[in-house]
Amino acid sequence: MVLTIQYARLTDDFEPVADLEVLKVWELKSERKLIEEFLGYSKLFEDQFTFVPVGVNTAYDLAFIYTRAKRYRLVSKPLSEVLHWKPFIDLKPVLVMINEGRFKDYDRFVDMYRAETRTRGADVPILFAKGDYESIVEYVKDEYQATLKALKHIKEALEKLKPQ
């Protein structure tokens, strides 16, 4: 089940233009409504869309949202078309390279920017079952801030590789 979908408008330098928007299943009362609201805004699986997804393991996130949207008959395109033709930025391959080619713990580079709370993604279903929605939102916001810091750091490093 998709519990939250979050997005924020960013500049090309990964600076936020607006606050992080967090859609929450517990407020919208159903996963279907959550996905409908997000797809209505993002047009993610349509030919014309409103933004480019950016994050860590973004391909997985897109495939997961697609699978759930398909369940509710909210999308008709094949997933291969979405993943092939829609632009998105996924830091996972870069993080694997930073991690000396290892997939295990590749996300530790982003984790080093996280707050001390250290709630992990694996904790979210437990928090949801307990009704601790505030901790879920704190985790999502912390993950967002850490990802922004990692994006900026990686972009700065890659700038040095540009030909003069």
pLDDT at 46: 85
Do the domain assignments include residue 12?
Answer: yes
Q: Which of 124, 109, 119 is nearest to 142 (CA)?
A: 119
Instruction: Evaluate whether 135 touches 128 at the Cβ level (below 8 Å).
Output: no
Q: How far apart are CA 84 and CA 90, in angstroms?
A: 13
Do the domain assignments include residue 51?
Answer: yes
Q: How far apart are CA 10 and CA 12, in angstroms?
A: 7
pLDDT in tens, 1-49: 899 999 999 998 889 999 999 999 999 999 999 999 999 998 888 887 7
pLDDT in tens, 76-112: 989 998 888 888 999 999 999 999 999 998 888 888 8
Quick count: other Cβ atoms within 10 Å of Cβ 56? 21
Q: Tokens 């709630």, residue?
A: 119
The whole domain housing 24 covers: 4-159
Do the domain assignments include residue 164?
Answer: no
Do the domain assignments include residue 117?
Answer: yes
pLDDT at 2: 92
Q: Does pTM top 0.85 for this prediction?
A: yes
Instruction: Evaluate whether 61 touches 38 at the Cβ level (below 8 Å).
Output: no
By 3-state DSSP, what share of the chain in percent is helix, strand and coil, each rounded to 5? 50, 10, 40
Q: Total domain count for the chain?
A: 1
pLDDT at 126: 95
Q: Is the pLDDT of residue 61 over 90?
A: yes
Do the domain assignments include residue 146?
Answer: yes
Q: How far apart are CA 155 and CA 5, in angstroms?
A: 25
Half-sphere CA count of 73, side-chain side, radius 13 A = 0
Q: How far apart are CA 135 and CA 118, in angstroms?
A: 11
